[in-house]
Homo-oligomer: A and B are copies of this chain.
Amino acid sequence: MEDIEIAQRNEANEIQPITKIAADLGLTADEVEQYGPYKAKISTAALQRMRKRPNGKLVLVTAINPTPAGEGKSTVAVGLADAMHRMGQKAVLALREPSLGPVMGMKGGATGGGYAQVVPMADINLHFTGDMHALTSAVNTLAALIDNHLQQGNALHIDPRRIQWKRVLDINDRALRHVNIGLGGPTSGVPREDGFDITVASELMAVLCLAEDLADLKQRIARIVVAYTYDRTPVTVDMLGVTGAITMLLKDAIKPNLVQTLEHTPVLIHGGPFANIAHGCNSVVATRTALELGDVAITEAGFGADLGAEKFLDIKAPVLGKTPDAVVLVATLRALKYNGGVARRDLQATDPAAVRAGFANLQRHIHNLQQYGLPVVVAINAFANDDPAEMQLVQDLCADQGVKAVPVTVWADGGAGGAALATAVNDALSTQHQFQPLYTDTMPVEDKIQTVVQKIYGGRDVAYARKAQRALKTIKANGWDHLPICVAKTQYSFSDDPKLLGAPTNFTIHVSDIIPKVGAGFLVVMTGTVLTMPGLPKHPAANDIDIDANGHITGLF
């Protein structure tokens, strides 16, 4: 059965009014702003009231280096929350907001899967409460204001070749990657080279996700560097005089969105920045609210733990003011085999030797998380044809490391399939631990990078391209070197080579550029090229989607 079919059947029969979900969390009807019967934003007044509450425990869900199909982090996170909910715990999930682009392309939605889904599934994957659209509007309004500044005399002396701020669409549209704009003569703009990103790749998404409230959002927007002048002085939004207008466009987008799982567990879905050129976590506002509303807050971070968890711990946690009390590391037999050297087409076959080889990848992630001082539980996300002996092998290998590994069948069974995981996580939550930060703000940028490369990736050293060396100088000259780093790297390997699977060592990380994101508050360390505007495949998902006269949708994944 398709995910959308499971979701729509449930929505017709069992979904609860969002006001009921809110009431169970102690929110009054006045404190939620409904978007239809099953979605709501939490009001600013409610958020302010919550700030006085004590925090619950925080669980971070992350994963080993995945196969290109993904290993089901969101599905496991949903299933874990449902399992705790069934056990009578007050669990609140905080997830990322899906992008519309992939829905029409290949990847499909991002609301979990099977019986571990968040609903209303179609709405969340399409326009939801309009956050992505508000961001798209704000990013493009700012871009239009920059080009208008050029057109109207360029009082700030902006160098049209050094405009950093790109337009965005929440669409997979490769034809917009490289464009020439401002053509058609003097009344139609100043000609220049430009390009569009997908909305979630914009710095403004990261800004929204790291802002603590509307006031902090405004300050971060004011600081965004949109361009450089002819003499290389940074030009900020503040200098353009449009901070208020851009902030206004996000006045509702900053409020977290409340929805529910198929099992009526409350979920905050809010914000979804890229996990390479940004930090790949849902918003600070949503995670903080989940901590205040629940006894346990469960959240996730994009890609494998080398990217997602590292950025959660080194970028998001300092803003949040809270580190995880336990980490769930999601693995699958197929990802272990893939890391063990098996080709994609052969991942279905039983191959315990490959599982054993690929375990090196899982082992390093466990080690990395333990370096931070965090209790780790491994969740083996089970597929229908998984071999029981291989499942046992992974559990045994983990036990050898002193780590509990638990098979979960939440896709097929919902919360019931996550009961053992919930028990293991609760055990981990009661463990004494002391968080150890990886690096400090005051370390030189090169040292921060070297630390992440050695301690997390297991690499040897770092090579800087000429462009990256120049960027380091700019960063120091402008006093941006206190910012944490955000490495843009392949998600398939600890190294910067997507084919170097498992647990490689002695490799060099090649830094091609370092891009300061002063509004978001991090330095993007580029390793190779990152595609920030995806394309559509030969047979796009759009060709399989349909809707009938009654609004019933088919073909949406």
Chain A residues close to B by CB (< 8 Å): 33-37, 41, 44, 100, 104, 122, 126-127, 130, 133-134, 136-137, 140-141, 143-145, 147-148, 151-153, 167, 169-184, 187-190, 195, 213-215, 218, 241-242, 244-249, 251-252, 535-536, 538, 540-543, 545-547, 549-551, 553-556
Contacts and interface: CB of A to CB of B under 8 A. Distances in A.
Nearest to A172: B144
A137 B170 contact: yes
A174 B187 contact: yes
A350 to B, nearest CB: 37
Contacts of A249: 126-127
Given A37-B33, A147-B174, A180-B179, A218 B547 contact: yes
Contact of A183 (B35, B122, B133, B180): B180
B175 A245 contact: no
Contacts of A182: 174-175, 178
A120 B146 CA distance: 29
Interface centre among A34, A134, A190, A241 (most CB of B within 10 A): A34
B248 A545 contact: yes
Contacts of A126: 248-249, 251
Given A33-B36, A151-B174, A184-B177, A248 B547 contact: yes
Ordered nearest first, which 4 A-B pairs have the shortest CB separation? A178-B184, A175-B189, A244-B546, A133-B133
9 contacts: A33-B36, A33-B37, A34-B36, A44-B551, A104-B141, A167-B169, A178-B183, A214-B547, A214-B550
Contacts of A542: 141, 145, 242, 245-246
Contact of A35 (B35, B134, B189, B242): B35
A248 B178 contact: no
A24 B241 CA distance: 44
A251 B246 CA distance: 28
Max chain B CB contacts within 10 Å: which of A127, A184, A242, A553?
Answer: A127
Nearest to A555: B244
A127 B214 contact: no
Nearest to A34: B34
A188 B195 CA distance: 11
Given A183-B179, A241-B543, A248 B188 contact: no
A544 B513 CA distance: 37
Give the residue among A137, A143, A241, A556 with the most B Cβ atoms within 10 A: A137
A134 B144 contact: no
A23 to B, nearest CB: 16
A246 B152 CA distance: 38
Nearest to A153: B538
A98 to B, nearest CB: 13
A183 B178 CA distance: 5
Contacts of A551: 44, 214, 251
A555 B136 CA distance: 22
Given A180-B183, A187-B535, A214-B550, 6 more contacts: A34-B34, A34-B35, A122-B248, A126-B251, A178-B188, A246-B542
Nearest to A251: B551
B148 A536 contact: yes
A433 to B, nearest CB: 36
Contacts of A213: 549
B173 A144 contact: yes
A188 B177 contact: yes
A190 B179 CA distance: 11
A187 to B, nearest CB: 7
A174 B145 contact: no
B214 A143 contact: no
B144 A175 contact: yes
Nearest to A37: B33
A540 B178 contact: no
Nearest to A185: B178
A175 B170 contact: no
B245 A545 contact: yes
A127 B252 contact: yes
Name the residue in A151, A179, A542 with the highest tally of chain B Cβ atoms < 10 Å from its Cβ. A542
A550 B213 CA distance: 10
Contacts of A541: 245
A140 B127 contact: no
A516 to B, nearest CB: 24
A536 to B, nearest CB: 4
Nearest to A147: B175
A528 to B, nearest CB: 15
A171 B189 contact: no
Given A126-B248, A245-B542, A151 B175 contact: yes
Given A34-B35, A181-B175, A188-B174, A100 B148 contact: no
